[in-house]
Amino acid sequence: MDTNEQRIKIAVQKNGRLTDHSLDLLERCGLKFTQSKDQLFCFGENMPIDLLLVRDDDIPGLVSDDVCDLGIVGLNVVEEKRLSRQQEGREALFDRVFDLDFGQCRLSIAAPDGTPYDGIETLKNSTIATSYTGLLRDFLESRRIDASIEYFSGAVEIAPKLGKADFICDLVSTGSTLAANGLSEVEVLLQSEAVIIQTRAPLLGDKQALVDRILQRLDGVLQVQESKYIMLHAPRHALDRIRELLPGSEAPTVIPLEGTNDKVAVHAVCRENVFWETLENLKAAGASSLLVLPVEKMLA
C-alpha cells in the first residue's frame, strides 16, 4: 500500500545556495522526481519519497512539527531554531543525523574596520545586528557578555553604516562581502555546513526502514565522493611501507603476480583523495604501474 501517510517527505531549500547540491545528492542516491506545476513539490517516481521545496528557514520547523520526516538545511539554521525554541521554553523535535559536506560557512561577529578590538570584552554594552538572535544570545550569555541584540532580517552588513549597530553577526564564507562593506571578522560563533535532520516523531509502518535505507545510501554517496580505488604493483618486502602510505585505507587486497615470487599487486579503496605526492611517495617506496580510479557506488 502506498498511501500518502506511508510516503517519506524530505524538506529541501526551494531556491538558494543549498538547492542544487541537495537535489544532486538525492539523485545520486538513485531517487527520481517529477516536479509539480507550482514547483513546490517533487513526486518520487521510483520510491515512495517526495520532496517539499521551501525556504530554508522553514525546514527545521517542518521537521520538528512532523510535516516532513527529513530535512536538508544548514547547521546555522538548525541551531538557530533549536536555541530560539529553547529560549522560549520549548523543545525542537528533530535530531541531526549527519553532516553532508557542502554549504560550508561560519557565523561570525564582525567589526567596522578601524574599530579597536581587544577580545570579547570589547563587545560589552555594544549593539550587535543579526538575523541569528538565538545563536548570538546563547553565545553572549555563555560568555557573560551584556550586549544588546538588534534584529535585522537581511542586509545585516549595512547596519553599522546606518548607525543601527556597533558590530554585526552574520554568515561568512570567503569574507569578501565583509571586506566590501569595510568589516573584519573578530569572533567565530559556529562552523556550519549542510546537515540532514530527522523528526523525533515515531515513523509508522515501513517508514523507518525506508528512512534507514535512504540514509544508508546517502552515507555511501558521501563516502564515495572522496574515495578512490588504487591499484599498483609492489615488491613483497615493501608492502608494510606501502600500506602505511595508502591514505585512509583499512585492508588492501594483496594478489600474487603470475610468474614472480617477489612481486604482488595491491588493490585498495582509499577513503581520502589521492594526491600526486602520495603517488610519488608510493613509487619511491618501490611501487610501479600505479592506477587511481574513481569509485562510483559503495555499500558498507
- What's the grid cell of residue 128? 550587535
What is the closest distance, in whole angstroms, from the C-beta atom of residue 56 to Zn ion in the complex? 4
- Residue 222 CA to residue 239 CA, distance in Å, equals 29
Nearer CB in complex with ligand ATP: 9/228: 9
18 binds ligand ATP (CB under 6 A): yes
- Residue 75: which of 89, 90, 95, 91 has the closest Cα? 95
Q: How far is the CB of 55 from Zn ion (least distance, A)?
A: 5
Q: Map the footprint of Zn ion across residues 27-56, applying CB under 5 A.
A: 56
Q: Tell how far CA 207 is from the center of its chain.
A: 24
Q: Is residue 14 part of the contact set for Zn ion (CB under 5 A)?
A: no
**Beta strand extents in the chain (DSSP E only):** 8-13, 33-35, 41-44, 49-54, 70-74, 94-99, 105-112, 127-130, 148-151, 167-172, 183-192, 194-199, 228-235, 253-256, 263-270, 288-294
Site string for ligand ATP, 65-94 (x = CB under 6 A): ---------x-xx-----------------
Residue 121 one-letter amino acid = E
CB of residue 193 to ligand ATP, shortest distance in Å: 7
Angle at 150 between CA 146 and CA 156, to 5 degrees: 125
Select the residue interacting with ligand ATP from 32, 40, 55, 280 (CB under 6 A).
55
156-175 residues in contact with ligand ATP (CB under 6 A) are 171, 173
Give the chain's end-to-end CA distance (angstroms, integer).
Answer: 29
Compute the least distance from the CB of residue 282 to Zn ion, in Å: 46
Q: Give ∠ CA 34-37-40 in degrees, rounded to 5.
A: 75
From residue 51 to residue 90, what is the string marking binding to Zn ion with x (rule CB under 5 A)?
-----xx---------------------------------
For residue 295, the minimal CB distance to ligand ATP (Å) is: 27
The closest of 45, 2, 40, 5 to 26, measured between CA atoms, is: 45
Residue nearest to ligand ATP (CB): 74
Cα–Cα separations (whole angstroms), residue 31 to 64, 69, 185, 214, 254: 24, 16, 40, 9, 36
- Which member of 60, 61, 103, 252 binds ligand ATP (CB under 6 A)? 103
Q: Single out the residue of 53, 100, 105, 242 in contact with ligand ATP (rule: CB under 6 A).
A: 105
Q: How far is the CB of 106 from ligand ATP (least distance, A)?
A: 9
Place of cell 546555522: 76
Place of cell 498511501: 3
CB of residue 231 vs ligand ATP: minimum separation in angstroms? Answer: 37
Select the binding partner of residue 13 from Zn ion, ligand ATP, none (C-beta < 5 to 8 A, by kind): ligand ATP
Contact residues toward Zn ion (CB under 5 A) are 56-57
Contact residues toward ligand ATP (CB under 6 A) are 13, 16-18, 55-57, 74, 76-77, 103, 105, 171, 173, 192
